Chain A
Amino acid sequence: MTNKQDTNIFNRMMSIDRRWVFLLLIVVCVTAYFLPFSVPILVEPEVAVIHEFIDTLPPGSIVFLAIDYDPASLAELHPMTYALLEQCFRRNLRVMCTALHPNGPSMAEAAFLAVADSCRLDKTYNGEFFPAREVVNGVDYCFLGYKPYPALVILGMGTNFRLPFPSDYYGTPLDSIPLMKGVQNYDQTACVVNISGTSGTEYWISYGQGRFNFPLALGVTGVMGAEYYPYLNSGQVFGYMAGMLGAAQYEKLADNPGKAIIAMKVQLYAHFLIIFFIIIGNIGFFMDKFKKNREGR
């Protein structure tokens, strides 16, 4: 039976029903989402370096985009993909893409279609005018699709893209795709950007960059965020975007505000609330400990 001393205010502070926490979090997130305000986004150098690298590529260069995520990670990774793809197409860069996660092809296809739609409009980014243009499959981008066993696929593509992918996602043989003319392997690509919500990132580091030495940039989910920073410091990865914050920073750099920048205002207040609950729990813990010590229990 619960005794009276165990239900003091400090104990109650440590044992708030989780449903109240969830309810408050929902209220805070929904309110912040609908309130018309924005938060400043500070850009970190590891994100800026990716934007700068792509921005300074000569037109016609090939950016290899590895989209290795599923709908469970699209909240954080779709904004990165959208901003990066739009930047590439506006700069007249060509994009090759694989999706080495079984649910990845639908993510990649959705991104290509949405960005192709956006490119049909005149836009101005960072004060530079970009006229509307048609993004054509096979000319501006080549989507290779999915193949199982990412490590072997990445190694195979280092020899020739045609080994693991004799044809693209839509069944067109690679040799009859204009973009693939003269393109054999990673040597013809300017860089690889892996946007991933899976352990596939490790394959790109070990079997891709480590074996073929191409410039590799990463965009990963927040959960994976801390795990891959060491590869940035060791120089194996030249740029790094982690989670919604990384996506928002890239959107800001590209002057293409999207869902990530909007989400950051919600993140701010959600984090305030979580920090508040952490403080409440800790005050309860330490005060309860102090009280018990004083009572000699």
Chain B
Amino acid sequence: MEFGTFLWTTLGAMLTLAIFSFLYKDNPFYKFAEHLVVGVSAGYWAVILWHNGLVPNLFERLQDGDWYLLWLNSSRPWYLIPALLGVLMWTRFSKKYAWISRWPIAMYIGIATGVAIPLEMANRVNKQLYATMSNIHWSNFFGSGFLDTAAGYSEVIVFIGTIAGLIYFFFSKAHTGTFGVIAKVGIYILMIGFGASFGLTVMARISLFIQRIQFMHEDWALVAFDKTNPNYSGWFPAFFWLVALIVIGYIIKEFIIYLKNKDKPKPEKA
């Protein structure tokens, strides 16, 4: 690992700790890391969109024209129309001319809706309906192994769950009697669905933390402080301790403030 790589990896490790420090309480290290993420992301996105959107889709297609003729002499001058529509979006910054921005927005929404409606209906509504309404394969149900959800059981569960879930959201009739019982089943089905989502979300959040542990251990601690590395330098630990001293200094400052305020009465909460 070279010093440059060490610097970036160490920065990554420090920023990780800075972000996790929020779990205790808000602090300047967290604020710095948070602002850095937002700033870097915005800058990165702007550059990416410029180089992958505007440059190939507009500038390169008009490049055989001349700027002083507003590229009207280009072989593909019609690309000026979307460019003009894009510019019109900026009129939102003027109170007087903001209404002009409705034109490009209307065109954008019109095209997006036209493209989306048939495909979304066909693939996210109709096909799902067909799948729910398809025949239950009773042969699978009886022929498969016990609780083989990949076979018949899941079809029955999907059928009952869908009907019960829909009935729960049917508010034109009071949820009483048999109707109420089915609606109750619907609630349980929904809760099972939310529970599955919650469980998977917990797994996802823990995964993020595990990945950070793996990064701190494998990519940072094991590599950055490996003295057998030919590029190892005394600057590596020196830099680390410098950053660590700043953090320790902050913790001591916070502790002193805590000790000073310990015996003072806390303000009553409203």
* A contacts, CB < 8 Å to B: 18-19, 22, 25-26, 29-30, 33, 45, 72, 74-76, 102-103, 105, 145-148, 151-152, 155, 166-167, 202, 205-207, 209-211, 221-223, 225-227, 230, 233-236, 242-245, 259, 262-263, 266-267, 270-271, 274
B44 near A244: Cβ-Cβ < 8 Å: no
Residues of chain B with a CB closer than 8 A to A245's CB: 203
Distance between B33 CB and nearest chain A CB, rounded to angstroms = 14
Provide the bound-state CA to CA distance between A26 and B20, in Å: 10
A222 contacts B213, C-beta separation under 8 Å: no
User: If A33-B217, A243-B207, A271-B202 touch, does A102 touch B123 (CB 8 Å cutoff)?
Assistant: no
Flag whether B258 is at the interface (Cβ < 8 A).
Answer: no
Q: Which residues of B contact A29 (CB under 8 A)?
A: 206, 209-210, 213
Give complex CA distance A259, B44 in Å. 28
- Provide the bound-state CA to CA distance between A262 and B124, in Å: 36
In whole angstroms, what is the CA distance A13 to B214 when docked?
Answer: 32
**A274–B202 touching, CB < 8 Å:** yes
In terms of DSSP, what is the predominant structure of the interface of chain A? Answer: helix
- Segment at the interface with A among B3-11, B97-105, B113-121, B246-254: B113-121
B20 CB → nearest A CB, Å: 8
| Residues of chain A with a CB closer than 8 A to B154's CB | 233
Chain A neighbourhood of B24, CB < 8 A: 19, 22
B151-196: which residues lie under 8 A (CB-CB) from chain A? 154, 158, 193, 196
B207 and A102 within 8 A (CB): no
In the assembled complex, the Cα of A84 lies from the Cα of B183 at a distance in Å of 43
Chain B 209-228 interface residues, beta-carbon cutoff 8 Å to A? 209-214, 217
Count of chain B residues with a beta carbon within 8 Å of a chain A beta carbon: 43
Contacts of B49 in A (CB 8 A): 102, 148
Using a CB–CB distance below 8 Å, which chain B residues touch chain A?
Answer: 23-24, 41, 44-45, 48-49, 52-53, 56, 112, 115-116, 119-120, 122-124, 127-128, 130-131, 150, 154, 158, 193, 196-197, 200-204, 206-214, 217
Kindly list chain A residues whose C-beta atoms are within 8 Å of the C-beta of B209.
25-26, 29, 270
If the complex has contacts A151-B116, A234-B131, are A263 and B210 also in contact, measured as CB distance less than 8 A? yes
Min C-beta distance of A30 to chain B, whole Å: 6
Do B201 and A223 touch across chains, with their CB atoms under 8 A apart?
yes
> Are the CB atoms of A243 and B213 closer together than 8 Å?
no
> Residue B124 contacts which of A45, A202, A267 (CB distance < 8 angstroms)?
A202
Q: A19 and B214: CB pair below 8 A?
A: no
Contact of B128 with A230 in the complex, beta carbons under 8 Å: yes
Q: Please determine whether B204 and A210 come into contact, CB atoms closer than 8 angstroms.
A: no
Q: Measured between alpha carbons, how far is A8 from B120 in the docked complex, in Å?
A: 54
- Closest B residue by C-beta to A211: B119
The answer on a CB contact under 8 Å between A75 and B211 is yes
Q: A19-B24, A205-B123 are in contact. List 5 more A-B contacts (CB 8 A).
A: A75-B210, A103-B41, A207-B119, A243-B200, A270-B206
In the bound complex, do residue A266 and residue B206 qualify as a contact, i.e. CB atoms below 8 Å apart? yes
CA distance A234 to B154 in the complex (A): 12
- Which A-chain residue is minimally distant from B25 (CB atoms)? A19
- Chain B residues near A225 (CB-CB < 8 A): 196-197, 200, 203-204
CA distance A274 to B45 in the complex (A): 36
Cα distance, A226 to B192, chains bound together (Å)? 11
Q: How far is the CB of B117 from chain A (nearest CB, A)?
A: 11
Contacts of A235 in B (CB 8 A): 131
Q: Is the CB of A244 within 8 A of B23?
A: no
Ranked 7 nearest A-B pairs via Cβ: A222-B204, A75-B211, A210-B123, A234-B131, A225-B200, A222-B200, A244-B207
Q: Which of B52, B197, B202 contacts A147 (CB 8 A)?
A: B52
In the assembled complex, the Cα of A147 lies from the Cα of B211 at a distance in Å of 28
